[in-house]
Structures are given as C-alpha cells and as structure tokens.
C-alpha cells in the first residue's frame, strides 16, 4: 500500500467500548450502519486504563479493556465491509485525568516513578497489539494518541518505533494532539503524520498554514486521525471540549464540518480524516435531535459527511457537489 496516495475517508469506531461490548449484536449493527456513510477506512480505537498519570503499569490484559478476540472480530467485520483498518490502542487514566498529563521527572530519581518504567510497560502493551495488527492484516497502526507530555521523550519513542517495526510490517502513525503538530521532533521516524484536528470554526486556514510547514519540512503524508464537534451550543468555538455545557444544536456541528471541509479541500496534502466518533451502541434514530454529543448519526452533519465522502475522486483531489 502506498500511504502517500491514500485518500482516507474514515471514521473512528468503538472507543466507548468496554469488555464484552465489541462482541454484541448492537456493536455489529453499529459498524454496518457506519459503513453506509461511504467510508473507506475505519479506526478501531479502544482504551486501556493505567491507574493515574504517574502510574507505570499499563494493565492491558485486564478489564475493562476489550479482549483480543473482540478486537480480532471487529477487524474481521470491518474487512468484510470492505474497509481498510487502522488499529489504535489508547492509554487512559482510570482516575479521569486526560492522558496528555501522563508525566514523570525528566531525570530519574531513586524511589520515584520514572519514564523508563513507564515506557517499558508501554512497549509491552503496544507490541502486543502490533502483533495482532500484523496477524489480522491491518493497513495502519497508530502507536499513541494525544500524549503531549510524552512527546518530548524523543529517544524512547524512536526506540519504540524500531521495536514495533520488527513485528509489524505496515505503516505507522502517531496521533499528536491539536496545536502540537509543530512540536513533535521525531516525525521522520513514522510513515504518516496525524493529529487531532479540533480547531474552531473560522480558524482552519490559520491552523492549516501552520501544519503545512511541518508536512513540507518532514516530507510525510498527513491526515487528521481525529476531528469532530459535538452537536451542542457553543461547541463550534471549542470542539475539543466534551464537557462544555449546552443544549443540542445540530447546526453548530454541521457548520464545523462545513468549515473544516471547505478549508481542507484546498490543501492537496490533507489526505483525509478519521472522524470522531461512532460508538458501539447507537441511540434510536428518533433521538438524534436531542443528542448533543459527537456522533453524527441521524443529524444534519451526517448528510454533509456522506456527501463529501462520496464525491471524492481518485487521487488527492476532491470534488464537491
């Protein structure tokens, strides 16, 4: 696969899943409905919970993490639907702290948790899923997501990537957080740059100008591994804030997608999106107008996304109706 020539019309699936949920009939039905959007890629994303930001053990074999058989079954279903698969295991903190705050002393101190301890556990975790990605023929592997405080640990990331390549032959990406694209120094070690594009309505041109400098510098393909907006009052100005208080507003969500697509369509280096997100359990269609989350199912933005995805021409150019 030539990743530089890929158009990624994708969706992120399953991140809300806990052990047993990916194996349900509801999950299978959810993925089938998601495929109707005209997508050609899916990111299968699932969380693993370390206890807190300074914990050094990542217990990926324990609940609530989905079991390996569930991961393999989801890959098989996506492939049967004709989708290319990106596998994305993600570390979260069980105490609710965002993973971007996982951090340790820059220099090791006896008796204190350390980067060396954490990366040893993280490597075991990531290599486990890299083997599954290889065995099941996943077209892409995402080795980390929005881990802002870890980004500075360049040597550790390079060593992890080296070890992952020993067991997984496909392309590798790292999903940096919003506004961090120009702060990661080791993009040359991955095959494709990806980031979380939660940029406010009206700011897309400015942010794309900044990101383009990074893409040109490293001469790597680029896509948005995450991007989306809740259908909620005020979310267009703060699309990354899932805690924002506000009533349902489909128009706000739709305008976000309009703003993003309008700006990105002019940049031939933006190869696509893995939109955030599509859960394992969908609300009833008649409840769409009262939902204020990221899901686009049954909302105005669903039509916009489907229209955009189904008007993509071969190559990196896009054509809108």
What is the fold of 3-309? TIM Barrel (3.20.20)
Q: What is the percent of the chain with per-residue pLDDT over 90, rounded to a whole number?
A: 95
Residue 321: strand, helix, or coil: coil
Q: Which letter does DSSP use for residue 229 in this model?
A: -
How open is the CA angle 94-116-103, to the nearest 5 degrees?
45
User: Residues for the chain: how many in total?
Assistant: 321
Confidence of residue 313 (pLDDT cuts 50, 70, 90): low
What is the DSSP code string of 58-118? --TTSTTSPPHHHHHHHHHHHHHTT-EEEEEEEEEETTS--GGG----SS--TTS--HHHH
Residue 226: strand, helix, or coil: strand
pTM (2 d.p.): 0.96
pLDDT at 319: 40
- Which tens digits make up the pLDDT trace of 38-86? 999 999 999 999 999 999 999 999 999 999 999 999 999 999 999 999 9
What residue spans define the domains of the chain?
Answer: 3-309
């Amino acid at each position: 696969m030539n990743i530089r020539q890929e158009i990624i019309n994708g969706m992120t699936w399953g991140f809300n899943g806990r052990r047993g949920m990916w194996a349900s009939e509801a999950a299978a039905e959810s993925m089938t409905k998601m495929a109707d959007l005209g997508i050609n890629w899916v990111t299968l994303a699932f969380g693993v919970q370390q206890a807190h930001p300074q914990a050094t053990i990542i217990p990926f074999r324990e609940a609530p993490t989905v079991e390996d058989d569930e991961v393999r079954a989801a890959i098989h279903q996506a492939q049967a639907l004709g989708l290319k698969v990106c596998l994305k295991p993600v570390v979260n903190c069980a105490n609710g702290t965002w993973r971007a705050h996982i951090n340790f002393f820059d220099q090791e101190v006896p008796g204190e948790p350390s980067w060396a301890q954490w990366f040893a556990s993280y490597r075991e975790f990531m290599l486990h899923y890299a083997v599954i990605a290889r065995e099941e023929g996943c077209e892409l592997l995402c080795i980390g997501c929005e881990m802002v405080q870890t980004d500075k640990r360049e040597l550790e990331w390079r060593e992890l990537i080296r070890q992952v390549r020993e067991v997984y032959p496909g392309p590798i990406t790292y999903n940096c957080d919003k506004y961090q694209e120009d702060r990661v120094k080791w993009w040359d070690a991955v095959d494709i740059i990806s980031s979380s594009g939660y940029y406010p309505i009206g700011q897309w041109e400015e942010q794309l100008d900044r990101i383009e400098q990074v893409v040109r510098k490293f001469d790597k393909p680029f896509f948005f591994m995450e991007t989306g907006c809740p259908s909620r009052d005020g979310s267009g100005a703060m699309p990354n804030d899932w805690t924002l208080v506000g009533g349902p507003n489909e128009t706000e969500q739709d305008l976000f997608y309009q703003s993003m697509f309008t700006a990105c369509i002019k940049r031939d280096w933006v190869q696509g999106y893995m939109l955030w997100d599509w859960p394992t359990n969908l609300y009833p269609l008649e409840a769409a107008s009262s939902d204020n989350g990221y899901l686009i199912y049954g909302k105005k933005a669903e039509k916009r996304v489907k229209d955009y995805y189904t008007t993509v021409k071969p190559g990196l150019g896009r054509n809108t109706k």
